Amino acid sequence: MEGVTRIGVSLEPELLKQFDESISKKGYVSRSEAIRDLVRDSLAESEWKNDDEWMVGTIVTVYDHTASSVGDKLTDIQHDHHSLVNTSVHVHLDHDKCMEIMICEGKLRELKAFADEVTSIKGVLRGRLTMAAPSTGNLHHVGHRN
């Protein structure tokens, strides 16, 4: 393989066995492929610790729509932070519960604060910010976000 450096990795037999079982379940065809993904994930996570890094991610919430106007509050907060929210998806889970998925972009510090604000709304049962990746293109600079 051109442009690839081979390395050696030493693992305890039990750890290697668990690793092989895990990557097999995930459908990896080789240990190398799985290790490359682990390294990429590790490097990306280190960027997620820099609060000034421009990131894209999601905020997923599950809420009880029968609880005092929680749906309206979620809509209002998205409008209040329209510069962070690129789009959102609303899913009806059952008669009382809904899921809201917000795809967001901004400085990590802003996304964390926004996620905290969203998840603290009364009626939100679960909420989580998940970072997808650094925004290499800073989409807001291409004219679709200001």
Helices (H), the chain: 13-26, 31-47, 70-80, 108-119
Residue 23: inside a domain: yes
Q: Are 37 and 86 in the same domain? A: no
Domains of the chain: total: 2
Share of the chain above pLDDT 90, in %: 58
Q: Are 61 and 43 in the same domain? A: no
| Position 113 pLDDT exceeds 90 | yes
Share of the chain above pLDDT 70, in %: 88
Q: Are 58 and 21 in the same domain? A: no
pTM (2 decimals)?
A: 0.67
The least confident of 13-17, 57-61, 141-145 is 141-145
User: What is the pLDDT at residue 143?
Assistant: 36
Q: Are 37 and 89 in the same domain? A: no
**Strand arrangement of the beta sheet that strand 124-134 belongs to:** 85-92, 97-107, 54-64, 124-134
Residues of the domain holding 23: 13-47
User: What is the pLDDT at residue 4?
Assistant: 83
